[in-house]
Amino acid sequence: MFILKGKIQIGELVFHSINGVEITKSVEDLADMAVIRLPAKFRIRQNGVEKFTEETVKAGDKVIITLGYEDKYEGVEFTGFVASVGSKIPIEIKCEDAMWLLRRKNINKAFGKTTLKTILKEITAGTGIGLSGRIDDFEVDSWIAKNVNGAKALQDIKDNLMLSVYLDDEGKLYAGLQQLNNIAQQAVYDLNYNIVDNNLEYKAKEDRRIRVKYTYIDRKNHRTSVEAGDADGETRTFHTSVVSSEKQLKAAAQAELEKLKYDGFSGSVKSFLIPFATRGMAAVIKDSEHVNREGKYFINKVTTSFGTDGARREVHISNKL
């Protein structure tokens, strides 16, 4: 029998009675997010005094969410900070990972020719956030951040350099092609055994008609474009003003194409908390009725829910590994 077990620590407060929690982690988003639903009032054990949640929980409070099943699995699913406290009942507390710290740092810096790591070190300096060892440190023609917060500066890098940018489960900042941050762990899903819901669709590579176009635009609006994929395919277009290297543009276009064009599944599966899964892992899809369709896929997003209705993970997959 699987008995739910959860603990939420907000500042010095600890809650074991949880109305509901939803945690979202994605390689497409800058920040991991969590929404906690708690009663409007709670009682402090030491003195029996009742407190209003919205008067006690404040923006900036440290948050640690631990979820699991009694005697079977228990893990820290989210670490971050309170971003806001709602007024409806049950009280909704919105939380963000350490990107919350970067939103409070002002960046006012201009670089000529530099490297990606140099820019990231400037953005994270003084926040205690380290850099992932998986970052591909390439040259950037120029970069300017004029009185923006650290999160906005990272969003500009994400948009202009066409990279995935996020804090990994170790709290380190990653910036690079999403599939290069495969963390060498996997979760196994048997379509006939350990899933609650199957929202997968299987397609052959030749049926995925995709064309990827990357364009560099300089300050005089001169353009350099590269393409990869099927001439008659659905076009995915990307623009940058900071990467002029045709080699880098081609590499980015090819990497995007490989994410989108393959024989295999796309979509999501919904499971229980076991097996554990997080973005950056591999999902091994097994199907005894269609063995030829079995394969391993990059997990690009995971939404974990926990509460009075039970516990679930919705695991979204992208390219085949």
CATH of the domain at 163: 3.55.50.30
Claim to verify: residue 37 and residue 127 sit in the same structural domain:
no
Q: What is the pLDDT of residue 292?
A: 83
Q: CA-to-CA distance for 96 and 185, rounded, in angstroms?
A: 24
- Tell me what the pLDDT averaged over the chain comes to: 88
**Segment 283-312 mean pLDDT:** 91
Residue 190 has pLDDT above 90, yes or no: yes
Q: What is the pLDDT of residue 42?
A: 63
What would the pLDDT profile of 250-265 be if each residue is shown by its tens digit? 888 888 888 788 888 9
Q: What is the pLDDT of residue 274?
A: 94
> Which of 81, 97, 113 represents a domain boundary (last residue)?
97
Residue 245 has pLDDT above 90, yes or no: no
What would the pLDDT profile of 25-54 be if each residue is shown by its tens digit? 999 999 999 999 987 666 655 566 777 777
Claim to verify: residue 31 and residue 77 sit in the same structural domain:
yes
By DSSP bridging, strand 223-229 and strand 234-240 are: unpaired
Claim to verify: residue 195 and residue 288 sit in the same structural domain:
yes
What would the pLDDT profile of 112-171 be if each residue is shown by its tens digit? 889 999 999 999 999 999 999 988 788 888 889 999 999 999 999 988 877 899 999 999
What would the pLDDT profile of 4-24 be if each residue is shown by its tens digit? 999 999 998 888 878 899 999
Claim to verify: residue 189 and residue 298 sit in the same structural domain:
yes
> Which of 67, 97, 127 represents a domain boundary (last residue)?
97
pTM of the predicted model over 0.75: yes
Indicate the pLDDT class of residue 176, thresholds 50, 70 and 90: confident
Q: What is the pLDDT of residue 48?
A: 65
The verdict on whether omega for the bond into residue 275 sits within 30 degrees of 0, i.e. cis, is: yes
Residue 184 has pLDDT above 70, yes or no: yes
Range of the domain at 125: 101-180
Q: What is the pLDDT of residue 18?
A: 80
Q: CA-to-CA distance for 176 and 162, rounded, in angstroms?
A: 8
Q: In this structure, which amino acid lies at residue 245? A: S
CATH of the domain at 195: 2.30.300.10
**Segment 95-100 mean pLDDT:** 97
Claim to verify: residue 81 and residue 186 sit in the same structural domain:
no
> Which of 34, 64, 97 represents a domain boundary (last residue)?
97
Indicate the pLDDT class of residue 95, thresholds 50, 70 and 90: very high
Q: What is the pLDDT of residue 45?
A: 59
Q: CA-to-CA distance for 133 and 139, rounded, in angstroms?
A: 17
**Is the distance from CB of 195 to CB of 317 less than 8 angstroms?**
no
Q: CA-to-CA distance for 67 and 44, rounded, in angstroms?
A: 22
Claim to verify: residue 270 and residue 188 sit in the same structural domain:
yes
Burial label for 245, CB within 10 Å (0-12, 13-18, 19+), is middle
Please report, rounded to a whole number, the percentage of residues in the chain having pLDDT higher than 70: 97
Q: What is the pLDDT of residue 44?
A: 59
For the chain, the domain total comes to 4
DSSP summary character for residue 49: -
